[in-house]
Each structure stands twice: as C-alpha cells, then as structure tokens.
Structure 1
Amino acid sequence: MLDRAVVDALFPADLPEPERWEARYPERGLPEGAHVVRFGPSPTGYVHIGGIYTAMINKDVAGRSGGRYLVRVEDTDQAREVAGAVAQFDAAFAYFDVVPDESATAGGEYGPYLQSQREQIYLTYVRHLLRQDKAYLCFATKDELADITARQQAAKLPTGYYGGWAIWRNAGPADVAAKLEAGAPYVVRFRAPEEAGGRRVRYTDVIRGPLEHEDNRNDVVILKSSDQSPRLPTYHFAHAVDDHLMRVDLVIRAEEWISSVPLHRQLFAALDFPELSYAHIAPLMKQIPGGKRKLSKRKDDEASVDFYLSAGYPAKAVQYYLRGLANGRLAELPLAEALAEPIRLEECGVAGPLVDLVKLEDISGDHIATLSGQEVYDAVLAWARTYDPDLAAVLEAEPELALRAIAVERDGDNPRKDLRKWSDFRPAYGFFFPQLFAFTPELLTPLGVAPDVASAFLADLTDGYDHDREDWFGQVRELAAKHGFARNAKEQKSDPERFVGSIREASQLVRVALTGSTRSPDLHAVSRALGAEVVRERLQAAAG
C-alpha cells in the first residue's frame, strides 16, 4: 500500500475531498417512487435510432414517476470525438420530443453534463480509492500487456489483467517510487476483489428479472495514462461517480452493457455508493435472409437518425412506432392514445424488436392523412428549408397553390395516403407548381397513341376546354369518341383496327399533359387545383 503522502502528491494540492462533492450534489428530495434516469450518448458518430428509442423510454419513465431525465455526454474518449456531435444530439432530441430535463444545453443543478468537464470530480474519487488501496498505479507497457495476452491465449486462459497476471497489483512501494522518480507514465487500475475470480453474482434486472453472471476478475483501468491531459477516467469509472453524484437510481440502457454489471457493482461497493437498479433494453433488429441481426451503423441507413430526418418522417409517427416496439399494447392503440399512455418497463421484451420501414411508412401515411392542409404545408416547408431549399422557395412563393394541391382527394372516409414522409411531397405534388413541372413530348410515347392523333385530340380539347363544366370528364369522353377512341378497353379489343385507342389512353393523354405522369389523383380535382389558365397552357404545350 502506498503512503498517503505519495498518493496525494500525484494530484493537485487543492483537490477537494469526497465530502465536498457530496455536499455540492445533495439528494434531490423528489417524491417517493420518482426515478432519476440518464441517457449517456458518446459523441463519436451519428445518433443511432436505438439511442432515440432508449432516450424515449428513459424520458417516459422519469416523467411519469415525477422524476428527472438527464442527458450526460460521455466524451472521455476524446480521440474519437466527432465535431458537432452534441449539436446533432440536441437537434435529434428536439425533433423526436425527448428533450432532457437536464443537459449541457438545458442546464441543471447537477452538471457539468459533459464528462470532459468533470475532471476534478473524478480525480477526487480516484485518489480516494488509491488512499484505501482499492486502486493502484500500473506502469505496464504496451509490449508487456501484449505479451501477457499472448501467453494467456497460448495457455487457453481467460485474457485480461488479473491475479498473478497483474504485474503491478502487488508491487512494493520502492518499485513504484522508482518508476515515479524516472517519470514513467502510468495508469490507475481498480483492484478487483481477490475472491471475485470464478465467483457468480446475482441481481434482478427490472426488465429481465433475476440474472446471474461471472463476477469481474479484471483490474480495469479507471484513470487513463498520466502523460495525457486532461486526466480523464474510463467510462466504467466515470459513470459510477456521475450516476451517484447526479443521484441516478435507475439505469435504463442497452443490453450490451449487461456483461459490465458485475464490474459496475464492484465499483459502487468500493466507493461506498448505494447500488442502482438496472433495466437492460433489447436492441432494435433488422430482418435479413435466414434470420435477423442488430440494426447496424455500418450496414443500415435506417440505423441513423439522419435517415429519418432527411427523409422527413413525421416525428409523431416515429414516436408512435417506437413506443409500439417498446410495449406491444401501444401499437394496438390510436396514435394520440399511444403517445399519452405510459411505457412500462416490465412489458419491454427481452427479444430485440424488428424495425420494419414498410410498417413505419404505413403508420406515417395514416398519420399525415389526419393532418389539416395547413399542418401538412407547414411541416413540409419546415423540412424543405433544411433538406430541399428549392422546394422551400416554391412553397413560400405559392402557398395558396400548395394548399389547393394538398387538398386534392383528402376529404371523405378514404383520403389519399401517397404522402408518407415529407420527402414524398416533391414527387407526389411537384407537378402542381410551374417551377417544378417539366413536360416533354416523349412522355406521351409509352401510351401507344399515334403522335398526330394525340396532338389533334389535345389541341381540340384545348380549344373547347370548359373548366367549369359540371360533367367535367364528359368533354374528354366526347372528344375521345370524335377522334376515334373506343368507349372502353373491351370495345377496342373487339375491333382493334377500328379504334386509335380506348378512353383509357385518351384519359392518360390528358393526365400526362397536366401532371407529367400516368399516375395522379383524380384529374378533375387536379384541374380545379391548377386553375383554368394553367390547364389550357399545359394542354396546348402537349398538343405541340
């Protein structure tokens, strides 16, 4: 055991004692049953949709219990930090309505909420463990560590730094002093309990019930190398200190952390912190041929929150879908009810739910169909300002036309649902706007009508076009007969030499002339939205 003076000399002279931090971060005084939870993203890449899923569950559990939901950015691995990641977190949290009660942006009494700004706090507790001989200095080099691993593998033993393999675990004070005198870099390692090797530990997971694991045997690093600045801890140690001082009592996190629970419980015990409750969430999955796998950052576009933002999925539709993945009963409720109902941890499954974009699009289309035209316009415009500036400019210039276009076939019991996300607006509605509409004669070719017949038919329709005719389609039908089109496909099929096409082809000529596509909403409704002048202009242009 190192002399206290030697230990203290390794740290700033004015470093506070643990009691200072305990007083600075007191018990929160929340109502009985209230939970303090945290979401701890790492700023080493884009936000995973699984992170939003986890944050959503955290926020719901905390809010409904009268507790607090905080976001603590775990940025101790600064070499891998991606610039702008925190701002990306904030944007994602805001869009999906999982804004925390406390965070680096929102503030709070238990900050800082960036781990990189809590160096003094961690150093206090590292020193505390060193003083008690619950941690020690380790001067093992990379080569020595690699040699240990190689020999363990050759002997078919568990790899790690433990027991007799931990070459600095029982080093004498003189050896340590010599290394310090020579200025050798060191890390601080946690001294795992000697009886931990081979021991089984049990605890109860809020979601999974009783669990049993092999206890941690490794003397893990808790403070990174002394030749680095700032002196930051590893995740395992930082989270233990922060969860205690931020008065977190329930950790809701991904199941990948289950294997770390034995170590985390050892750290809490060594620091004399009260134990926490854990709830480990099953990961979001993807169906693949022959089975399923975890939704992957590297392989799956839909793993990224940016995918949903750039595509323009309405936030409420995604929230509803994710809540249904968390608790199946919520998927059976209407959207508004599902968003109001609580998420129950005991109803979260232990098998990872499948992310099904087809199902999400159905939900999204149903949701958009319930919105007013003004709500759709406002949402598309807000999306387009970031992701499609040219469309945004058109919408800002033509708000009345946009509202008329959105209104087409949205009334009644079966409103159109071709708008499933905001990025669908341009392909579904773009033809309404002169700035976005482009007609070329080649668009008529696939219809199989002779060019001279198509031109004559469309020119005739232009000349006699009656925008206000009660039987609007009647004028198309009459002119079609005049120009040699059959009344229906059956009639044409019975005597193909007699007809130039059927009323279907004639209708499609008008449809393509007005919309640039063979698929569109009801033609009369489209013509009403476009207005008489634009209809005549487009028919004339198609006639050539």
Structure 2
Amino acid sequence: MLDLSVINAMFPPDLPEPDDWERRFRPRDLPDGAEVTRFAPSPTGHLHIGGLYTAAVARALARQSGGTYVLRVEDTDRARRVAGAAEEFSRLLGAFGLAPDEGGVAGDGEWGPYLQSERRDVYLGHVRELLRGDRAYPCFCDKERLARSAGEQRAGRSPLGYYGRWAPCRTLAPEEAARRLAAGEPYVVRLRCPYEFPGRIRFADRIRGSVTLQDNGNDIVLLKSSQEELPLPTYHFAHVVDDHLMRVTLVVRGEEWLSSTPVHLQLHTALGFAPPAYAHLAPLMKAEGPSRRKLSKRKDPEASVEYYLSAGYPPAAVQHYLRGLANIRLMDVPTAEALAAPVRLDGMRPSGPLLDLPKLHSLSREFIASLTPGELYAQLLDWAEEYDPELASVLVRHEGLALAAVAVGRPEGAPARKDLDRWSCFRDRYGFFFAELFGPVPSAADDRFGGLAPELVRRIAAGFVRDGVGAGTPEEWYGALRALAGRHGFAPDTAAWRREPDRWAGPPRVVANVVRVALTGATRSPDLFAVAGVLGRDEVVRRLTAVAG
C-alpha cells in the first residue's frame, strides 16, 4: 500500500474529506416510502425519446410517492460533450411538463451542483479515501501497453479488461509506484477489484425481479489520466458517488446499464455506501415489417424529442403516451385520468414497448378535442410562436376569428370534431378561415371540384351567390343548395339518387362540394353554414365570385 503522505500529495491539500460531504449533503427529510429518483443524461447529443420516457417514469415514481425528482447532467466525457446540450435538456423537459424538482444547469437545490464537471472535489475526496484503504491504486500503463494486452486477450479468447497478468500495476511495489508518481509519470486510478476469480452475483430489479449476472472481475478506471488539466472521474465512479450523496433511493435507467450493475454494486461496497434500488427499462422498439428493432437515432426521425415539439404534439398527450408505454392500462383512458394515475413498476414489461405513432395521433386528437376553444387557442399560439411565426402572427392579429374558427369544430350539444392531432395540422384544417393563409381561390378547373366541367362549376358558384349567401338559417342555407342542385339536374337527396342514379346528374353533395371547395379549398370541412357564418358574407361572396369568374 502507498504511504499516506504519497497518497495525500496526489491531491489538492485543502480537499474536503468524505465525511465533510456527508455533512453537507445531509439525508433528505422525506416521508416513509418517498422515492428520490434522477434523470441523468450525458450532453453528447440530442435528447432521445427513450430518454424522455425514462424521465417521465422517474418523475412519476418520485412525485406519486411524495419524493423528489432530480436532473443531473453527467458531463465528465469532455471529448464527446456537445455545446448547449445540457441547457437543451432543461428546455425539453420543461416543454413536456417534466421539469425536475431540483437540478439541471441552473443548479436549483441543496444537493448540487448538478453538473458532474462542477463536482470534481467531491469525487477526488472519495478516490483519495479508496487509495488510503488500498481499495484503489495508481496505474501507469500507457495506451500501447493496454492495446497489447487487449490483443493477447482476443487471441486467447479471454475476457477483455485489466485483471490478472494483464494488470501489472496492481502488484507494483509501493516504492516503485511512489518513484513514478514523483517523476511525474502519467497515471490513472483504478479500483482494486476484490475478486481474482469473480463468480455470479444476484440482485433485485424492481421490474425484472431477481437478476443473476457475472460479477465484475476488472480493475476499472475510477479517475482519468493525470495528464488532463483537471482529471475527472469515469461515469461508473461519479454516478455512484452522486447517487449516494444526492440520496437517490431508486435508479430508473435503460436496460443497456443492466450489465454494468455488478460494477456499480461493487463500487457501492468499496465506498461503504448502501446501494439504491434499480429499475431497468426495456428500450423503445419500432416495427419493421414482421419484426421489431430498437429505435435508432440515425434512422428514425421520431427518435429525437425535438421531432415531437416541431410537429406540435401537445405535451400533455405525449406525457399520456409515455405513461401508456410504461403501463398499458393507462393508454386507453382520458389524458387527465392517465396523468393523475400512478405509474406502477410491477405493471411494466421486461420486453421493449412498441413506439406506435398512430396511437399517439389518436391520443393527441382526443386531447385536443377535449379542449375549450380558449384552451386550444392558447396552446396553439404557444407552439406557433416557436415553430410557425407566420401562423402566430395571424393568430395574434385575428384572435376573435381564430376563436370562432375553432368553435366551429365544437358545435354546442354535439361532439367536438377530431380533425387535429398536431398543432402543425392547423394550417391544413383551419387555415382557410384566414385570408393570409388561404391563398388564391381555386380555379373552376381545379381537380378538387370532382371533375365537373369548369363552366358548370362557375354556374353553381354564381347561382349560390345569387340565391344562397343571404340565407339566415341552416334550413334556408341547405334548402338553397338543394334547389340549386335541382336546377342543374342533381338529385334532391342522396336516397333519390341511389334509387334512380341514371335519372340524375349526381347526388346533391356534388353541388355542395363546389361551395365547400370554393370556401375552404378542401373537400372536407366543418359544417358549411357555420364556416360561412365565421367567414362573413363579404368573404363568402368574394370567394364564390372568384370561382364564378
């Protein structure tokens, strides 16, 4: 074992002791059964929808138990760090209603800072303590030596790692290690694994039950190279220290970390910490023909959280969907009920849930249809200000028109139309109400008129200007349409056309479609009389007259 004076000289002289950190980061005063969870992304790229899923589950488990949900940014990998990514995590979590109780870049909370790069002294104090107890040691092996060892291991079909005869610094004489340290030779600090021949380890997972894996037999790196200006710990070491000092009781993370759990449990033991409980989530899957595969950041645009924001899925609907992926029982209840219901780990499956965008569309349609016109307008405007400034400008200038347009799809005493599943669809479904978004009126030869001769389209449009636009009630309005249809040889109603199709030029809806396309630019729309009432007589006349020529 290295002399204590040699160990102490490896670290800043005023470095706090682990007991100092225990006093600073005191146990939390929470009720019995309260869970402290954390979402701990690395700022190495865009936030994946799987990360948002993990955050949603972690937050739900903390909130429903009266606990605390923490955002910690694990930014010790300087080489892969993406500028602004840490700030983006906070923005995206907030946008989807998953803002943490404490943590993030702002560092709100008594157990911070919450960026690992700002907690260096915390880790150094614990590395020093392991060295003092001979549970860690300095390793001077350079990249070439490690590469040779890995080559020998592959050739001999041995497990890769730093152990046994491939771990020369483990048995280095203390005097030799001290000499090399004094000479300024670069080093890393490694854990002294307690097992020469590791066996199997069994631990509990809150989703998978009892799990048995091969234990760790590798002397993993705890502290990166001393050549770095400010050496930082590895992920494995830093997150174990942080979970303990932030008083995390339940670690919710992806199943890619399941195989690392033996290492993490070994580190907890070496540090004298009681480990938290673990819950490893299965990855989100995507259907590809008859098979399923993991959602890919490279292949699938829907893997990025930004995709859902830019498309305009309401955050509440996305939250509902993520909870439904966790607990299928929540998928088919109203959004408000799903968001209020507890998420149960015993209701989660160890196989990966399928990311099904049509189901998200369905939930989103139901949620939007449940909003009042005022609520819909406010949420739409929030989205448009960020992702469609032109639409936002129109909505602000014509708030009254926008509210009236939305109300058309929510007739009193009848179910709301479910024609919006994303805010980005608003232009297509309701943009025709606004002259700035409607564009030029279709010409009489437009295919949307169903193949009618342009001259007939013009006569129908002109006839309705003359006889229909002044109608003051729905009965008068649709009566004028039927009369117009009759004058041009169309059946008075669909039943008559079906009885004698050869007698008529077509069903009356063909004539109604001319008016519909002229007013809305689409072959489907809310109730035509209600649409005309919102547009106003002058605008109705202008659009029909433009078609009539």
Q: Scaled by the length of structure 2, what TM-score is found? A: 0.94
Kept in 2, the 8 Å contact 1:163–1:194? The answer is: no
Partner of 1:453: 456
The one-letter amino acid paired with 2:239 is H
Structure 2 CA distance for partners of 1:69 and 1:407, relative to 1, 3 Å: same
1:203-252 Cα shifts (integer Å, max 9, x gaps): 11122111111100111111111111221101100011111111112212
Contact 2:25 2:245 in 1 (8 A): yes
Identify the residue that residue 435 of structure 1 maps to in structure 2.
436
| Corresponding position of 1:333 | 333
Aligned residue identity for 2:472 = D
Q: What is aligned with 1:25?
A: 25
The equivalent of 2:211 in structure 1 is 211
1:367 offset after TM fit, Å? Answer: 1.3
TM alignment of 1:290-301, pairs within 5 A: 290-301=290-301
Per the TM alignment, residue 341 of structure 1 is displaced from its structure 2 partner at its CA by: 1.6
* Cα deviations by residue, 1:235-282 (Å, 9 ceiling, x for unpaired): 100011111111112212111111111111111111111222111122
Deviations 1:98-138 (A, max 9, x none): 22111033611111111000011111111111122211111
- Unaligned ranges ≥5, structure 1: none
Change (3 A) 1:513 1:34: same
CA contact (8 A) 1:268 1:275 kept: yes
CA distance in 1, matches of 2:508, 2:249: 71
Q: CA contact under 8 A between 1:25 and 1:110: conserved in structure 2?
A: yes
Distance 1:204 1:502, change over 3 A: closer
Q: Which residue of 1 aligns with 2:518?
A: 513
Q: CA deviation at 1:66?
A: 2.2
Which residue does the alignment assign to 1:479?
Answer: 484
| Cα 1:443/1:183, change in 2 over 3 Å | farther
Aligned Cα root-mean-square deviation (Å): 1.9
Query: Which moved further from structure 2: 116-125 or 45-54?
Result: 45-54
Q: CA deviation at 1:374?
A: 0.7
1:528 aligns with 2:536: no
Once the two structures are overlaid, the 10-residue window that deviates more, 414-423 or 326-335, is: 326-335
Note closer, same or farther for the CA distance 1:430–1:8 as it changes in structure 2 (3 Å cut).
same
Describe the shift of the 1:443–1:70 C-alpha distance in structure 2 as closer, same or farther (beyond 3 A): farther
Q: Is the 8 A contact 1:492 1:502 kept in 2?
A: no
Residue in 1 that maps onto 2:363: 363
Structure 2 gaps of 5+ residues are: none
Q: How many residues align?
A: 540
Aligned to 1:274, what secondary structure does the other structure show? Answer: coil
Q: TM-score, normalised by structure 1?
A: 0.95
Using the TM superposition, name which of 219-228 and 245-254 deviates more: 245-254
1:276 matched residue in structure 2: 276
Q: CA deviation at 1:523?
A: 1.6
List aligned pairs for 1:380-399, cutoff 5 A.
380-399=380-399
C-alpha contact 1:100 1:106 (8 A) present in aligned 2: no
1:97, CA displacement in angstroms? Answer: 2.0
Match of 1:77 in 2: 77
* Residues 107 and 114, structure 2, Cα contact 8 Å, conserved in 1: no
Residues 444 and 455 of structure 2 are in contact (CA less than 8 Å); yes or no, is this contact kept in structure 1? no
Letter in 2 for 1:256: E
Deviation of 1:491 (Å)? 7.7
Equivalent position amino acid for 1:513 in 2? A
Match of residue 171 from structure 1:
172
Q: Name the SS of the counterpart of 2:134 in structure 1.
A: coil
- In 2, Cα distance between the equivalents of 1:307 and 1:332? 24
Q: Give runs of aligned pairs for residues 145-294 of structure 1, distance below 5 A.
A: 145-195=146-196, 197-294=197-294
| Equivalent position of 1:466 in the other structure | 470
Relative to structure 1, is the Cα distance of residues 106 and 524 closer, same or farther in structure 2, using a 3 angstrom cutoff?
farther
Q: Tell me the amino acid that sits aligned with residue 455 of structure 1.
A: R
Quote how far apart the aligned CAs of 1:526 are.
1.4
Query: Is the 8 Å Cα contact of residues 444 and 454 (structure 2) preserved in structure 1?
Result: no
Question: 2:38 is paired with a residue of what secondary structure?
Answer: strand
